[in-house]
Amino acid sequence: MAGTLVLEAIVVLLALPVVADVGGGVTWASGGYLVALALVMFLGAGLQRRPWALAFDLGLQVLLIAGAVIHVSIGVIGIVFAVVWGFILVLRHDVQRRMDAGLLPSQRVRRPR
């Protein structure tokens, strides 16, 4: 999840030239919003061991989708990454289910040869 946040922050920063060229230009508000959001994502990548990290990550997705007010492309980036986070949640649930059932390869008892 930390890697996903770092990649997402990079994509948000790469959206600045798009907003500058295609949108109405980068203002202090739009540029500040995107840079601050990317910085919070970078910082959040280091907080993934905290119990509230998943809620924090999903909250960042809401803020990114809300960036559609700045430019539609920011909202599209938010939706794409929301789908990625949804897939991460599905994978996380599947691994947890297999751990609870003892089905992971590392949980199997090895028989001596």
Give the chain's radius of gyration (CA, Å). 18
pLDDT (0 to 100) of residue 109:
75
Q: Which residues of the chain have pLDDT under 70?
A: none
* Cα torsion through 54, 58, 60, 62, rounded to 10: -170
Q: How far, in Å, CA of 105 to CA of 2, rounded?
A: 24
pTM above 0.75, yes or no: yes
Look up residue 104 and give its DSSP letter.
Answer: S
pLDDT (0 to 100) of residue 58:
96
Q: Which regions of 1-113 does DSSP assign to beta strands (E)? A: none
Give the phi and the psi of residue 90 in degrees, each rounded to 5. Answer: -65, -45
